[in-house]
Amino acid sequence: MHPILKLVVQRVALGLLLLLAVSAVIFLGVEALPGDTAQAILGQSATPEALANLREKMGLNEPPLTRYFNWLGGVLTGDLGTSLTNGADIAQSIGQRLGNTLFLAGCAAVISVPLAIILGLIAARYAGRWPDKLISAVTLTTISLPEFVAAYFVIYLLTQLFPIFQPVAMVFPGMSFWAKLNAVALPVIVLVLVVLAHMMRMTRAAILNVMQSAYIETAELKGLSPMTVIWRHAFPNAIAPVVSVVMLNLAYLVVGVVVVEVVFSYNALGQYLVDHVTKRDLPVVQAVGLIFAAVYIVLNMLADIIGILANPRLRHPK
């Protein structure tokens, strides 16, 4: 087997094993929570007979290992169970909300990733000079702010001081694409401010590291402009660490935006999780937790694979 194909297969297998392990941790963590699920559903006034019947119906009397494999089998077939609070199908409830989360994350990524790379290139080009210091100072300031502080600052600035947007990001089925963009503008701005600095700093550091190579000096001796050297020669060879940090931030844009979604009352997966955590709806917590874990693992696995493909020593083995 080709070395690069072997490494890719190993990364995929490792990702699947990690996802299986995470599913077990999520299930055991929920199982370890205090309280009785049947009691939480029926209330404190439920009779012992009603509690026993509900436990039998929900399979709570079965051993934990059996319940875990039953839950895992349902997940593999697309059955995430039903909500304890309203009896709704969890997979159907998650579907639309996951779409809203991905739309918000996609909008933020489309802005933040190119902007971070461009700012990283400029900072590397003028390393140690005022453009580099200005970019670093601004981005580090934004990443130092807690998410809710940045969110409320943006709300005050763009809804009160300059009333351009609405403070609540309301989306619903049937909205046009441009109406959705207008609705999510504020949370997108906050997310861009939060993730921009990390990607920019990694891009700058990776390029400056590559700039120490001998072939960069050769390119400079040929008379190429500094930006041409950086863009055509340094950046392609610094792509692996840049892709890794971009994937980490994309994962954050999907799984780490709970605070932003709650602040802006955005009807997405993070808001859905918070609502059902307060209601102790454990099947929903398990399902959303597994989806978040799967997104994070898959994106990190893709970062590893792209890093492997970007390595010329692996693409052209001796």
Cα separation, 89 vs 155, whole angstroms: 35
CB under 8 Å to 161, separation ≥6 — which residues?
Answer: none
Question: According to the model, what pLDDT value does residue 183 have?
Answer: 87
Whether 54 is in a domain gets the answer no
* The total number of structural domains that make up the chain: 1
Q: Which two tokens stand for residue 269?
A: 């997966």
pLDDT (0 to 100) of residue 222: 81
Q: Which two tokens stand for residue 80?
A: 């995430």
Give the per-residue pLDDT at 313.
61
The predicted structure's pLDDT at residue 312: 63
pLDDT by residue for the chain (318 residues), tens digit each? 677 778 888 888 998 999 999 999 988 887 776 666 676 666 677 777 777 787 777 667 778 788 888 888 888 888 888 887 777 888 888 888 888 889 999 999 999 999 999 999 899 888 888 888 999 898 888 888 888 888 888 998 888 888 888 888 888 877 888 888 888 999 999 999 888 888 998 889 888 888 888 888 888 778 888 888 888 888 887 887 888 888 888 888 888 788 888 888 888 888 888 888 777 778 888 888 899 889 889 988 888 888 777 766 656 655
Q: Would you state the structure tokens that stand for residue 215, as one six-digit string? A: 């072939």
Q: What does pTM read for this prediction?
A: 0.83
38, 51 contact by CB (below 8 A) = yes
List helix spans (H) across the chain. 3-31, 37-42, 48-58, 64-76, 90-125, 130-144, 147-155, 177-183, 185-210, 214-221, 226-229, 235-237, 239-255, 258-263, 269-278, 282-309, 312-315
Tokens of 283: 């099947």
**Which CATH number fits the domain that encloses residue 273?**
1.10.3720.10
Question: Please, what's the b/e burial string for 49-79 (b: 16 or more CB within 10 A of its CB; e: otherwise)?
Answer: eebeebbeebeeeeeeeebbeebeebbeeee
Q: What is the predicted pLDDT for the residue at 113?
A: 92
287: in domain = no
From the number of C-beta atoms within 10 Å of its C-beta (0-12, 13-18, 19+), residue 314 rates as middle
The two structure tokens encoding residue 293:
């874990």
Q: Phi and psi (nearest 5°) for 179?
A: -65, -40
In this structure, is residue 249 part of a structural domain?
yes
The answer to whether the beta carbons of residues 310 and 243 sit under 8 Å apart is: yes
15 assigned to some structural domain: no
Residue 285, in any domain of the structure = no
Measured CA to CA in angstroms, residue 81 lies from 68, 70, 73 at distances of 13, 11, 11
**Both tokens assigned to 90:** 């969890």
**137 lies in which domain range?**
90-280
Amino acid at 116: A
Q: Is residue 211 part of a domain?
A: yes
Residue 23 lies in a domain: no
Residue 222 lies in a domain: yes
Residues 6 or more apart whose Cβ sits within 8 Å of residue 79: 91
The string of DSSP codes covering 58-121 is HTTTS-HHHHHHHHHHHHHTT---B-TTT--BHHHHHHHHHHHHHHHHHHHHHHHHHHHHHHHH
